[in-house]
Amino acid sequence: MNNNQTLRLNSIFCILIVLLITSCDSSQRKLPIYGERTPVESTGDGNQTDTVYHTIPDFTFLNQDSIALTQAFFDGKIYVTNFFFTHCPSICPTMQRNLLKAYEKYQDNDKVLFLSHSIDFKYDHPSVLKDYANKLGVNDDRWQFVTGTKADIYGISEDYMVYTKEDPNAPGGYDHQGYLVIIDPDRRIRGAYDGTNDEQVAKLLEDIDVLIEEYQ
């Protein structure tokens, strides 16, 4: 074997090692945890300090079937949430169509759910949300569309760290961010993605898979 062949084999070997390491890192990748975190000293004899992460609080909203929906519906589940309104003339149609891609991808996985909060507490009554869901192609309870009081809806948006505001100068009368937010089974925020951006939506789908792996 000449020197050129030896160098070529060494290069191939190095590439294979790098690919193997990358593959291992990918399978072990975990999503970050977002939000405030509070150090809490352990009650044990040691000086260990635990971390308490920001979590989504209990809530109750009215869904598209006029049924009270609580946090209990999502216990033990991964869910993707966002904020929209049915007559939104700007980002909502694109955002909801992209979220539909995730809904369809995980149609056979009952561990992944979806939750859309309407920020139009005046118009988006359950019957309006039901009609909207049907037109979008949602035919089961894996994707919930909810309404509530102004205080409840806008309050929960702060917990999800998504900006929402009633604004007469904004298109449709409401201003909001188009984030799709992943919540893990422990109620923690694990990612936020621009629902109008194809690359971000593709990243959302990848990261849902990562989170599913983490909780298997």
Q: Using one digit for the tens of pLDDT, what is the confidence trace for 35-90?
A: 998 887 666 665 667 889 999 999 999 999 999 999 999 999 999 999 999 999 99
Percent of the chain with pLDDT over 70: 83
Q: What is the mean pLDDT of residues 89-94?
A: 98
**Residue 16 pLDDT > 70:** no
pLDDT the model gives residue 38: 86
Write out the two tokens for 115. 């939750």
Write out the two tokens for 47. 């000086």
Least confident span in 26-35, 77-86, 133-142, 183-192? 26-35
Q: What is the mean pLDDT of residues 12-20?
A: 34
pLDDT the model gives residue 40: 78
Q: Are 31 and 207 in contact (CB under 8 A)?
A: yes
pLDDT the model gives residue 173: 97
Q: Band of the pLDDT at 7, cuts 50, 70, 90?
A: very low
What does the chain come to in residues? 216
Amino acid identity at 212: I
The DSSP output letter for 57 is P
Q: What is the mean pLDDT of residues 133-145?
A: 97
Q: What is the mean pLDDT of residues 186-201?
A: 98
Q: Band of the pLDDT at 177, cuts 50, 70, 90?
A: very high
Q: Kindly report the pTM of this predicted structure.
A: 0.84
Strands 179-183, 78-84: pairing kind? antiparallel
**Residue 26 pLDDT > 50:** no
Which residue in this structure is represented by tokens 């990748």? 29
**Residue 10 pLDDT > 60:** no
Amino acid identity at 63: N
Average pLDDT along the chain: 88
Q: What is the mean pLDDT of residues 80-101?
A: 98
pLDDT the model gives residue 73: 98
- Higher-scoring residue by pLDDT: 7, 105: 105
